[in-house]
Amino acid sequence: MKKTNRLVLLLLCSAISAFSFAQNSFTNCTAAFLDNKLVVNEYSPDGKCIVDSTARGALTVSPATYDNNVWTAADPAEFMVAIRDKNTGTICMFSDKRYKKLEISQVLSKCRKGDHIVLMTIDNHLALPHNEILIR
């Protein structure tokens, strides 16, 4: 009976530990910035990220702060990039590299109008709710 109690206690402790680790994910909000300007038109669940196919500038993913009616980027976070094809919905990695800053024209050269640039954070503490950018 003692072995069973110890096993149950061990399983219970393991479960509690797993739940506490899971609660630490996505504790900071980030956003995509193009030359330090917020890409999303509205930082809300209804916000849309759209860039022109001829856009130029440095693409970053950073924790976002809102002060005096202005969104600002903190230190850039590491992110990866994929492209979602307009016609098939297939997601293909742009590169296996991690970026803190990337010239958007490099990604756009591999895209067509209607495709989406998909941004992925590396750190599981960083939420990126607006992670797809439509190419117009």
**In total, how many domains does the chain have?**
1
pLDDT attached to residue 88 = 96
Asked, for residue 7, whether it belongs to a domain, the answer is: no
In a domain, 84, yes or no: yes
Q: How confident is the model at residue 23 (pLDDT cuts 50, 70, 90)?
A: low
Judging by DSSP bridges, how do beta strands 50-51 and 132-135 pair with one another?
A: parallel
Helix, strand or coil for residue 133?
A: strand
Side chain identity at residue 88, one-letter code: T
Average pLDDT rounded to a whole number, residues 94-106:
96
Tell me the C-alpha distance between 132 and 136, whole Å.
Answer: 13
Tokens of 105: 């024209």
In a domain, residue 111? The reply is yes
> Which alpha helices (H) appear in the chain, and where do they start and end?
2-22, 104-108
Q: Report if residue 11 sits inside a domain.
A: no
State the pLDDT at residue 117: 98
Mean pLDDT of 75-83: 95
- Which residue range forms the structural domain that includes residue 47? 26-135
Domain annotation covers residue 2: no
The helix/strand/coil state of 119 is strand
R_g of the chain, CA atoms, integer Å? 20
- Would you say residue 1 has pLDDT above 50? no
Q: Are strands 58-67 and 70-73 parallel, antiparallel or unpaired?
A: antiparallel
Phi, psi values for residue 90, rounded to 5°: -70, 135
